[in-house]
Chain A
Amino acid sequence: METRRQGLSLMTALCLLIGTLLVIQLWLVAASLDALYAGDVGVLVPAALVSLGMFAVNGFLLWYGADFDRRLKRVRRR
Chain B
Amino acid sequence: MADDPDSNEQAPRWRRDFPIGWESDHYVSRRELAKFLTLGSALLVGASFAIALVGKLRRAVPASAARIPGGAALGIGESLLFRYPTDEDPCILVRDHEGQLNAYSQVCTHLSCAVVYRPGEETLFCPCHHGYFSCGEGLPTAGPPTRRLPRIQLEERAGELFAVGVKV
Binding site for B on A (CB under 8 A): 4-5, 7-8, 11-12, 14-15, 18-19, 21-22, 25-26, 28-29, 32-33, 36-39, 41, 44-45, 47-48, 51-52, 54-55, 58-59, 61-62, 65, 69
Complex alpha-carbon distance, A8 and B26, angstroms: 7
The answer to the question of B97 belonging to the interface, with a C-beta cut-off of 8 Å to chain A, is no
Q: Which of A8, A36, A45, A62 contacts B35 (CB 8 A)?
A: A62
Number of B residues with CB within 8 Å of any CB on chain A: 30
Assuming A12-B30, A18-B34, is B49 touching A48 (CB within 8 A)? yes
Q: CB-CB contacts of B29-56 with A at 8 A, as 1s and 0s? A: 0110111011011101101110110111
On chain B, the residues within 8 Å of A8 by CB distance are 23, 26-27, 30
Binding site for A on B (CB under 8 A): 23-24, 26-27, 30-31, 33-35, 37-38, 40-42, 44-45, 47-49, 51-52, 54-56, 58-59, 109, 147, 150, 168
Kindly list 18 other residue pairs between chains A and B, CB separation below 8 angstroms, not including A14-B30, A32-B52: A4-B27, A8-B26, A11-B31, A14-B34, A15-B30, A15-B34, A18-B37, A22-B41, A26-B44, A29-B47, A29-B48, A47-B48, A47-B52, A52-B45, A52-B48, A55-B42, A62-B34, A69-B31
